[in-house]
Each structure stands twice: as C-alpha cells, then as structure tokens.
Amino acid sequence: MTQPGTPLQSGGRVPGSLGVVRLFGVPVRFHFTFWLVVVWLIFLGAGGNQSLGGNALYVGGLFLSVLLHEAGHAYSAWRHGIKTLEIVMLPLGGLSRLERHPKPAEEFWVALSGPLVNFLIGAALLGWTYARGGVVNLGHWQNATDENLVARLAVANLILAFFNLLPAFPMDGGRVMRSLLASKRSIEEATRLTARMGTGIAAVLGLYGLLSANFLFVFIAFFIYVGAMQEVMATSAQALMRGARVRDAMLTDFRTLRHGDTIREAAEMLLATSQQDFPVMSGGQVVGLLNRNGLLKAMAAEGPEAYVAGAMDREYARLAPEMDLADAAPVMAEAGNCALVFEDDKLAGLLTAENLSEFLVLRRIRESRGRTRPEETN
C-alpha cells in the first residue's frame, strides 16, 4: 500500500509505530498491531505439526514478503523521482508514505509494483515446489508442516497480491483504479468513485463476516471503509490547497523566545497564548524551534530553571512564502507539524498544522458559498 505525504502527528510519523530499522536509507517502522499479528501467527503455528524453527521461518518469510512488497513501491516511486518518507508495517500489510502525491500515470506504476513483487515471489516459490516434486493444496493451511512451508509461502504471496489488487482504498488496487479513472476525470471525482467502490466492497465483506461469525472479514471491512474515508479527505485537502501559497496560510502574529530564556518563561508564554511552537532567537537570528512536547519533556526532566537552548530543535524546517502550499504541507508534517517561513533570511511567519487546518476549513466554506450564491440570487 502507498500513501502520499500528509500532515501527521509526532514528527510526521504514523501514530502508534514502534521500533525502526532502515532499508536502503528508508526508515521502516512497526505499528504496535503488527506485533500482535506476529504473536498470533506464532501461536497458531505452535499447535501444528511444524517445528518451532519451521514456524519461525514461515512468519519470517511472510514478514519479508510484505517488506519486499513495500520495497517495490519505494523503488518504483524512486524511479519516478518521489522520495519514500517511511514504511510502516501494519497487520494487513505495509504502508509506504511518499513525500508527494504521484500523478495518475505515476500512481498506476507505483501502486502496481507492490503486488507485482508478490506475484513474482509466489511464482518463483511455486516453481521451486513443483521442481522438487511437491504439491500445493488448501489443506496445507490446516496441516502446516516443515515440508509444505515453501508451498504455503507461495500461496500467501499470491493471496497478498490478489488482496492488494481489490479496487478499494487503502489497497493498491484502489490507487490503480483511481489512476485509470483520473485519465478521464478529475482526481477528486476519481477518488470519490473509487471510494464508493471500496465502501461497497466493505459492506459485502462486513455483512458476510457478521452472518458467518468470521470477525476477520468484519475487521477487513472496517479497514477498507476507514481507508476510503481518509483518502477522500486527503484528496479534498489537496484540492483545497491547489493554487494557494504558504503566505496565505502562515501565522504572522506570533511570539518568540530568547536563547537565554528559561523553561519557566517558555511555559508562561505557552499558557498566555494559543501558540504551541516558539522560534528561539539570538541576536536577531533564529537558532532553533521549541515546541510544546519539547517544552514539557524539558520541564519534567530538567526542571523549570533549565534553558530553552537545551530543549529546542536546531534542525527546523524552512519554507519560503511563495512556495506552493501543497508542496509545503508534507515538509511541515515531516518536520513535526511546524515549519518556519523565511523571506530574505528574515523570519516572516510560522506554518503549523492548526493554521493549515483552519485555512482549509475557511477555504472550503468560501468555495461552498461561491457555488450556492448564483442559486440564491435567482
């Protein structure tokens, strides 16, 4: 699965992710629910006829298959000049978060590359199985052994490929479908149509899960429904930002801290204003950015008399006032939901997640009133 860069929590990371490794320079994080599925798979395998080592190899093979699936997305995105910000391992697969939304032609290949990797893995493992005189049948799922491990991994990869090709968000098939629809329609209309398909699929899966008391299908249905709603909202936000500049949404009435101020003084300013991110100045120059979380951590760890210089972030994001807002949003999110705006090396404003959200709400209202006004005058 792929996801274009959007404002997120906690320094631009997907919330709830634990642990990190790097794959070709791309951080790979693990959502806490991913570890629950790993434990569940190990528990299921413990009661079968396969050895502990065979069970570990099977779970490890599944993990590697999903990781290679996401690596396929990342490689295809890189080929199209799109950076992968992170890969997050989830219960039903992985999520590659991209720095920008691919164009329709780019999205088609970026989305298709993941399932294609699993098809190739599945085909290779099937060829290996048949070449060694083995067989593949569904009974292997009820009778897991060390001998049918490769065959089960082959089938698992094919299932993973077909599942991800369902024409529903957040699966890759939803993005493939949108890219095809976007060749004849606007990206917003293509997203809405694909989301409706996904909602229909979710309804069918959810109903089947309830009638058969199979709550895995209910969970998948909920996963698809939430993915469809999130994709519609993200695409709507991208449409609202189209044509806008950072200058249009940035905060211009803000407070700053001095390099020698204490955490106590910063806390007093936090309480006295609605601002949560404070540029730190020294001699008229910005030397860092202190956010609310950094302030609270410093207060708890070092006390109110510590200096803000020890708690501020010296690696803050910089934006230009004339930068496209759609391009600036993922930069801000990756930096921690706040970026400083400079004009001729002079601090001109702040772009925060709160200000961006308010800007989008106001723009949506203005556009809605603009569409209804002609009808009101008739």
Classify residue 116 by burial, with Cβ atoms within 10 Å: 0-12, 13-18, 19+.
Answer: middle
Q: Report the Cα–Cα distance between both ends of the chain, in Å, rounded.
A: 47
Q: For residue 289, what pLDDT is reported?
A: 95
Q: What is the DSSP letter of 177?
A: H
Query: One-letter amino acid identity for 362?
Result: L
Give the range among 100-109, 131-140, 142-151 with minimum mean pLDDT.
Answer: 131-140
* pLDDT tens sequence across 232-268: 888 888 888 888 999 999 999 999 999 999 999 999 9
- What's the pLDDT at 48? 61
pTM of the entire predicted model = 0.70
Q: What is the pLDDT of residues 81-127, one digit of tens each?
A: 988 888 887 766 677 878 777 888 899 999 999 999 999 999 999 99
Cβ neighbours, 10 Å, residue 85: 23
Structure confidence by residue, pLDDT tens digits, 10-61: 344 555 556 667 777 778 887 777 777 777 766 666 556 777 777 788 888 8
Cα 20 from Cα 27, distance rounded (Å): 6
Give residue-wise pLDDT tens across range 285-338: 999 999 999 999 999 999 999 999 999 999 899 999 999 988 888 788 777 789
246-361: CATH topology is: CBS-domain (3.10.580)
* Average pLDDT of the segment spanning 131-149: 72
Work out the average pLDDT over 134-145: 68
Closest CA to 293 of 301, 282, 281: 301
- Dump pLDDT digits (tens) for 197-223: 999 999 999 999 999 988 888 988 998
Rounded Cα gap, residues 90 and 17, in angstroms: 9
**In the predicted model, is pLDDT for residue 5 greater than 60?**
no
Note the pLDDT of residue 87. Answer: 83
Residue 46: predicted pLDDT: 59
